Amino acid sequence: MKKIVECVPNFSEGRNKKTINAIADAILQTKGCRLLDIDAGNSTNRTVYTFVGSPEAVVEGALSAAVVARQKIDMQTHQGEHHRLGALDVCPFVPVANVTMEECVDISKEFGRRLAENMGIPVYLYEESASLEYRKKLSQIRDGQYEGLKDKIITKEWKPDFGPAKFIPGWGATVTGARFFLIAYNVNLLSTPNQAHRIALNLREAGRGKDKPGRLKAVKGMGWYVDDYNLAQVTVNLDNYNVTPPHLLFEEVKKDADKLNIAVAGSEIVGLVPLEAILMAAEYYIEKEHLFVLEEDQKVRLAIERLGLNSVALFNPKEKIIEYIIAEEKNEPLAGLTVRKFIEEVASRSSAPGGGSVAATVAAMGVALGSMVAKLTLGVRKFEHLDIKMRDLIPPLHHAAKALIPLIDDDTHAFKEYVQALGLPEETRAQKDFKLETLQQGLKTAVEVPFTTMKIADAAWEAMIETARYGNMASKSDVQVGAMALKTGILGAYQNVVINLPDIMDKSFKDKTLKQAKDMKIRAEHKCKKILEILDSRTS
């Protein structure tokens, strides 16, 4: 799987469009880099770029952007509301996919070393890359800002990690490092900047000093006035959204604003945001307001509405949520077919798609029928007394149906990979060993895919039983068909498990898998029978 790293360089220029575009072009023209967002602020005179790529590509992209900044930005004339230390003020590297924090630490050090060597620039390391505790935080390194750097950099305590320990007037210094995904988040207030700052001091971790810490951890912030919006903001960096997510900050601002008789006018996310943080907000409001929302896109819409993310600029999930931006097209050629085409493909003279794909399809359709009946019971006036029960039953059925869909293609992919392994050369001892290892792994995959089908389908039985017991009897036959389809899907997947087990040499894997598969097969027969008996006994 691809390694993806996010790089979020902050440049001290937010007004000169030619400079902003030139830096963007440098990133765009770097092979392997994908520029996701450009957020320029006139009042802050600062632009935040967000791009992703492989570990090697993001280093090259950041270096290319820095070269342009050296030519275009002169810190001697820079003025802006945001704290800053240099032309390329800070350049963090963030793990996104299949990359560890340790790898990002190495990436940041590689970037810092090369930036210093190539351009003679002082570079400091921060966050996970820092080796000195007293200069681990960005605020510690930025203390005194660009104007104070001249005297600070020549001291022993503030010798740069890379580059010369001298003041470069046109540049200043750059801070780089690896960090968790930082969310730049602003809550809008119809207030004075002093009132906004007062609230920020109440909330940010540092508070008003050592003796008066703020209420929220992993939050840096201040209050200011944004002329472009004609309103004040509590502007924060959420260093770890698992500690303090955006919705918690928003709700705490609302509490303090209420005490001061100040109106909250929505909020904004500067740059990009992880999907998880948005879904956390959605789940918070779903629980708080006793809502019932299943679909991801509806949860995203709820979070946008409750946080007021469209208040000062359009929040387009496809352009703001990082997972949606970098998402690759699903490799599901079978699941994407029409029903007619899928059946014709199965009926063709080809061994794939075969029984495993059909088993996953049938199991998915069985669970889907249960989900349908539960949803047709929810919200109907005559069944209002069952709403709470249906809210419990629908999610496992709904999610199981969705989880089974990718397995339709996974089974065919596994079969094709095994067939390809059969064609590997075996002329030398090394080739024979490699082929044997590849074939064994291929067999395990060929077992694990239908075994996963069984596990997902098996987990749906209790919800199916309760749907049979309480669901709308007008859909009795749908639950009957669903139960039999679910059983058939599990039994079909079972056959695809046992047919591939004999040639697997790992006895422990083989024995454990076979026992669990047999248990699920027996359970499927019993549970289906129970559902049919329940339905036959119901009169209403």
Domain boundary among 115, 147, 178: 178
Active site residue 411: yes
Task: Supply the pLDDT for residue 42.
Answer: 87
Q: Are 65 and 89 in contact (CB under 8 A)?
A: no
Rounded Cα gap, residues 538 and 469, in angstroms:
8
pLDDT digits (tens, 9 = 90+) for 267-288: 999 888 999 999 999 999 999 9
Question: Does 103 share its domain with 157?
Answer: yes
Helix (H, G, I), strand (E, B) or coil at 213: coil
Least confident of 145-159, 320-334, 444-458: 320-334
| Model pLDDT for residues 413-426, shown as the tens digit of each residue | 998 888 899 999 99
- Class of residue 446 by CB neighbours under 10 A (exposed 0-12, middle 13-18, buried 19+): buried
Same domain, yes or no, for 308 and 345?
no
Q: How many domains does the chain have?
A: 3
CATH of the domain at 172: 3.30.990.10
> How large is the angle between the packed helices 101-119 and 55-72, nearest 10 degrees?
30
* Single-letter residue type at 117: E
Alpha carbon distances (Å) from 478 to 194, 468, 539: 62, 10, 16
Q: What pLDDT does residue 82 have?
A: 86
Span 185-198, pLDDT tens digits: 999 999 999 999 99
Tens digits of residue pLDDT in 226-244:
998 999 999 999 999 999 9
Mean pLDDT across the stretch 292-320? 96
- Domain end marker among 154, 178, 202: 178
Q: Region 20-47: what's the mean pLDDT?
A: 93
Indicate which residue of 39, 82, 458, 478 is catalytic.
Answer: 82
CA distance 394 to 108: 46
Other beta carbons within 10 Å of 519? 12
| From 411, 413, 458, 478, active-site residue | 411
Same domain, 262 and 378: no
82 an active-site residue? yes
Checking if the pLDDT of 7 tops 80, the result is yes
pLDDT of residue 1 exceeding 80, the answer is no
Last residue of a domain, one of 326, 349, 379: 326
- Looking at mean pLDDT, say which of 169-178, 330-339, 415-424 comes out highest: 169-178
pLDDT in tens, 356-399: 999 999 999 999 999 999 999 999 999 999 999 999 999 999 99
Sign of CA dihedral 6, 9, 14, 19: negative
Residue 65 and residue 187 in one domain: no
- Peptide bond before residue 353 is cis, with ω within 30 degrees of 0: yes
Q: What is the mean pLDDT of residues 403-416?
A: 93
For residue 333, tell me if it sits in a domain: no
Residue 334 lies in a domain: no
Same domain assignment for residues 173 and 67: yes
Query: Is position 331 within any domain?
Result: no
Note whether 352 and 313 are same-domain residues. no
DSSP 54-94: -HHHHHHHHHHHHHHHHHH--GGG---SS--SBSEEEEEEE
Residue 424 lies in a domain: yes
> Each residue of 243-255: pLDDT tens digit?
999 999 999 999 9
Is residue 247 located within the same domain as residue 362? Answer: no
In a domain, 332, yes or no: no
Asked if the structure places residue 433 within a domain, the reply is yes
Q: Is 397 within the bounds of a domain? A: yes
Q: Strand, coil or helix: what is 10?
A: strand
Mean pLDDT score of the chain: 94
Arithmetic mean of pLDDT, 338-345: 94
pLDDT of 511 over the 70 cut:
yes
Domain co-membership, 240 together with 170: no
Across the range 116-130, mean pLDDT stands at: 96
Please give the residue range of the domain that contains residue 190.
Answer: 183-326
Strands (E) in 146-230, as ranges, are: 174-178, 183-190, 219-226
- 484 and 370: one domain? yes
Write the CATH number for 453: 1.20.120.680
Q: What was the pLDDT predicted at 384?
A: 93
- For residues 348 and 307, membership in a common domain is answered with no
Backbone angles phi, psi at 51, to 5 degrees: -140, 160
Please check whether residues 480 and 414 belong to one and the same domain.
Answer: yes
**Percent of the chain surpassing pLDDT 70:** 100
Residues 93, 99, 101, 106, CA torsion sign: negative
Q: Per the domain annotation, does 469 fall within a domain?
A: yes
172 and 193, same domain (yes or no): no
* Exposure class string for 321-360: b at 16+ Cβ within 10 A, else e: bbeebbeeeeeeebbeeeeeebeebbeeeeebbebbbbbb
DSSP state of 316: -
